[in-house]
Amino acid sequence: MKWHQAIVDYKHYLQIERGLSKNSIENYSYDIKKLIHYLEKNSISASPITIDNEIVKEFIYAISKSINTRSQARLISGLRNFFDYLIFENYRKTNPLDLIESPRIGRKLPDTLSVNDIDHLINAIDLSYQYNGVNLGERNRAIIETLYSCGLRVSELIELKISDLFFDEGFIKVTGKGDKQRFVPIGLNTQKYITIWKDIRSHIKVDVSSKDTLFLNYKGKKLTRAMIFTIIKKLVEKSGLNKNVSPHTFRHSFATHLLENGADLRAIQMMLGHESITTTEIYMHLDRSHLSDVLNKFHPRK
């Protein structure tokens, strides 16, 4: 079995058997391609079937000099999954990652913005900004409001459809990881900004492949993940906010602010679309001050 065929088969497995998203599948594939690049660079002849523990250890040692411990742990996990798949398909008997331990890493706390930070960013948007006759300022405001007000992943935002909007009921339908769908509440202000953008959108010549996609570029096509990052980067620079802000920062801020204001952790889990509540529990580490308030308010022997 050659590496190319192994990757193709593995990607089919991840898509069909495990139901992973396109982005997750590409990340898994990227781990394997790093290993292949190392083998080619060092003229090491080893196939997915013959590669052994010593070669993999040398690869991880070499790459650990250029990546942090968190990336190293993710790489090891990704390769271990790949070779587990080969064992599952009876291509191999053993996993060359079995005796390789992942580096211990602390639990990384998400970056968050304050409510004032978010107001500052939104106020910095030039609502009159147009490109090729399309008002992209109003679009950008609707994007930021939706990211923060609904706690969406960037991939969920760019895939959001007009048919996913249920404003009369106060919800939007979100397609998350593994194509799992959930309904997320949406506030009246965000509905208003989306409605403004929808009116502008109705005057754009929309590409047939994006006819139901909510957020478009000036050409009438679906936005890319990279474009959302660029919009936010430029907005942060313009506002003068001295923080590292990404689309995920708004999602983290959404969850943190809900928790700080007394929202139930289980409800936050459902809105974020987390498979396990332990993933949501990371927000408990951000600010414990509100926990004392909860105790004082609700415990009978406070």
Closest by CA to 137, choosing from 231, 254, 270, is 231
Q: Which of 80, 139, 141, 153 is catalytic?
A: 153
Active site residue 177: yes
> What pLDDT, on a 0 to 100 scale, did the predictor assign at position 200?
95
pLDDT tens digits, 160-172? 999 999 999 999 9
Q: Which of 177, 221, 225, 290 is catalytic?
A: 177
Active site residue 38: no
Q: 53-63 vs 69-88: helix axis angle to the nearest 10?
A: 160
Q: What is the spatial distance between Cα 190 and Cα 212, in angstroms, rounded to a whole number?
A: 19
Task: Please list the residues that pair with 135 across neighbouring strands.
Answer: 130
Active site residue 248: yes
Q: Which of 11, 34, 225, 274 is catalytic?
A: 274
Q: Give me the residue label for tokens 């406070």.
A: 302
Active site residue 283: yes
> What pLDDT, on a 0 to 100 scale, did the predictor assign at position 294?
55
In the numeric block, which tokens belong to residue 241? Answer: 């906010």
pLDDT tens digits, 266-279? 888 888 888 776 66
Q: Identity (one letter) of the amino acid at 65? A: K
Active site residue 285: no
Q: Which of 80, 251, 252, 257 is catalytic?
A: 251
Torsion, Cα 213 214 218 220, to 10 degrees, reads: 30
Please report the domains of the chain, with CATH numbers, ordered by start residue.
3-88 (1.10.150), 115-291 (1.10.443.10)
Closest by CA to 212, choosing from 168, 170, 159, 146, is 159
> What pLDDT, on a 0 to 100 scale, did the predictor assign at position 247?
92
Active site residue 120: no
> What pLDDT, on a 0 to 100 scale, did the predictor assign at position 66?
84
Tens of pLDDT along the chain (302 residues) come to: 799 999 999 999 888 888 888 888 888 899 899 999 999 999 999 999 999 999 999 998 888 888 888 888 888 989 999 999 999 899 999 999 988 877 766 555 567 899 999 999 999 999 999 998 899 999 999 999 999 999 999 999 999 999 999 999 999 999 988 788 999 999 999 999 999 999 999 999 999 999 999 999 999 999 999 999 999 999 999 999 988 899 999 998 998 888 888 887 888 888 888 877 666 766 665 555 555 565 566 656 55
